[in-house]
């Protein structure tokens, strides 16, 4: 699966550079949304045909509710630690990480309300998070456990990376991933402005 994903990304890069006309990009981007919707529909069907789904939902451990908050804390803490090498102010590093993979919002929000350069960094960092998550989720699920596979995707586990998680884990973990993605997505527009506010005061 990882090899297929890498090959698809590389093929897309080559097509974008040498084959596809820039005028076709809006059409392709629109098609990508429909393709993603179809993939999510298939995931929903897979969950729906599981006769034990209701039981699995009821049997979810209460600790599963903490998953997105642990992912959020780990993402921000990891960015602050990486900041020891990068040399950014800790709150700026935390702001970049608090996009949780939602690059379209975090990059624009930081650029418009705080700093353009940091917004660009946030955009690239969160794009890379999504790409890296797509590549490593199968290996993480196989080697570190199914629940660990939820963490790399961050907010994208409610959409882009959900089909991959569904394929390599279980319906129960897929539900946790969907819940985690929604929660992290809701946290971004709340947490990011707070961090930027404190960063501006320092």
Mean per-residue pLDDT, 32-57: 64
Does the pLDDT of residue 124 top 80, yes or no? yes
Residue 33 φ/ψ, nearest 5 degrees: -65, -40
Q: Residue 77 has which token pair?
A: 């803490």
Please answer whether residues 165 and 137 qualify as being in contact, where contact means their C-beta atoms are separated by less than 8 angstroms.
yes
- Taking only the tens place, the pLDDT of each residue in 45-60 is 766 665 665 666 666 7
Q: Residue 12 has which token pair?
A: 């897309």
Q: Residue 175 has which token pair?
A: 């539900």
**Structure pTM?**
0.78
Lowest mean pLDDT among 24-28, 83-87, 152-156, 179-183: 24-28
HSE toward the beta carbon, residue 40, CA cutoff 13 A: 16
Cβ neighbours of residue 61 closer than 8 Å, sequence gap 6 or more: none
Torsion of CA 69, 73, 74, 79, to 10 degrees: 140
Indicate the average pLDDT of the chain. 84
**What's the maximum distance between 2 C-alpha atoms anywhere in the chain?**
54
Residue 20: DSSP 8-state: S
């Amino acid at each position: 699966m990882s090899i297929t994903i890498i090959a698809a990304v590389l093929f897309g890069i080559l097509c974008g550079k040498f084959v596809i006309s820039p005028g076709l990009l809006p059409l392709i981007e629109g098609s990508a949304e429909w393709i993603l919707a179809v993939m999510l529909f298939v995931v929903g069907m897979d969950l729906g045909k599981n006769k034990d789904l209701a039981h699995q939902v009821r049997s979810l451990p209460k600790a599963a509710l903490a998953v997105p908050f642990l992912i959020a804390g780990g993402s921000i803490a990891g960015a602050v630690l990486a900041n020891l090498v990068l040399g950014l102010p800790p709150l700026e590093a935390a702001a970049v990480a608090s996009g949780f993979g939602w690059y379209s919002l975090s990059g624009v929000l930081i650029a418009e309300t705080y700093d353009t350069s940091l917004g660009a960094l946030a955009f690239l960092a969160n794009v890379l998070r999504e790409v890296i998550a797509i590549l490593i989720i199968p290996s993480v699920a196989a080697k570190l456990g199914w629940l660990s596979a939820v963490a790399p995707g961050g907010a994208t586990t409610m959409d882009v990376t959900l089909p991959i998680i569904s394929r390599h884990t279980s319906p129960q973990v897929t539900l946790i991933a969907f819940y985690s993605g929604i929660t992290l997505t809701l946290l971004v527009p709340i947490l990011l402005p707070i961090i930027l506010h404190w960063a501006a005061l320092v």
